[in-house]
Amino acid sequence: MDEYLNTNRDHWDKLTPLHRESEFYDIEGFRSGKCMLESVDVAEVGAVTGKSLLHLQCHFGLDTLSWARRGANVVGVDFSQKAIELAQSLATELNLPARFVCSEIAKVRDSLQEQFDIIYTSGGVLTWLPELKSWAGAIAGCLKPTGFFYLREFHPTAYTYDDREGVTQPVAHFPYFPQSTPLRFEEEWSYAGPHLGEKSVNYEWPHPLSEIINSLLEAGLRLEYLHEFPYSTYQSHPFLVQGDDGLWRYPAKPDSLPLMFSIKAIR
């Protein structure tokens, strides 16, 4: 397991400087005041002014710092040291009150001696976790008794579709249920656009919706809602087409595919 996680950490260390320069992440827009949060996250999380917010798997912190701009007292956590260093440098440069901690999710309670009003995570994070029991336990341990956890994530069903270039319709290609070993990928391109210069190996784990929900319930959280959405916030598959609202759907049957979901859970 350490081999898989170390390989993934190296992969994200490579991605961080490339993402810093990418149009996908648009750091210059953020410097100019652009909010990097998706509208669904802002609407469902609600007002955060004066609240403490922990952002798990924050990459280099643009969403974390966007919550800071909205008035939250934020801490961002990621397992890539390069990502954390970039996040902290942006916070310092823009004089935003934020703290960033380098930690694996399973060890986050050892790194943080505090609890939070809100724990937030979103957008392509769960597939990087080999199991969800420690993830859910970390959330429960870091959440105040009156706090809530919010997740907005790409739907596990969508992860099964073939995402290779040229695919014109949703076709099952990857497993939905957990496997004995992780999925292994060799990638030359980042999802954010930049070429990596060489093939970079990474490992991912499928997690069905039942595992996600049951892990939270077993950790002692109570599900307030589960929402599913027939759109994605970016072109995760070549058969998705962007609408006037900026969201991506399957044009043949725009309301037929679950492409994202959100969960709110409370203590």
What local confidence, expressed as pLDDT, does residue 113 receive?
86
d(CA 115, CA 117): 7
How much is the pLDDT for 267? 87
What's residue 192's pLDDT? 85
DSSP annotation of 184 = E
pLDDT in tens, the chain (267 residues): 799 999 999 999 999 999 999 999 999 999 999 999 999 999 999 999 999 999 999 999 999 999 999 999 999 999 999 999 999 999 999 999 999 999 999 999 999 989 999 999 999 999 999 999 999 999 999 999 999 999 999 999 999 999 999 999 999 999 999 999 999 999 888 888 877 888 899 999 999 999 999 999 999 999 999 999 999 999 999 999 999 999 999 999 999 999 999 999 998
The amino acid sitting at 245 is: D
How many helices (H) and strands (E) in the chain? 8, 11
Tokens representing residue 53 in the block: 């917010």
Residue 183: per-residue pLDDT: 97
Which residues are bridge partners to 264 per DSSP?
150, 225
* Burial profile 10-44: b = 16 or more Cβ within 10 angstroms, e = fewer: ebbebbbebbbebeebebeebeeeebbbbebbeee
Q: Is the CB of residue 34 less than 8 Å from the CB of residue 26?
A: yes
Give this prediction's pTM. 0.95
CATH 3.20.20.10 assigned to domain 2-266? The reply is: no
Which tokens in the block code for residue 22?
Answer: 């990418």
Which pair of structure tokens corresponds to residue 25? 């992440």
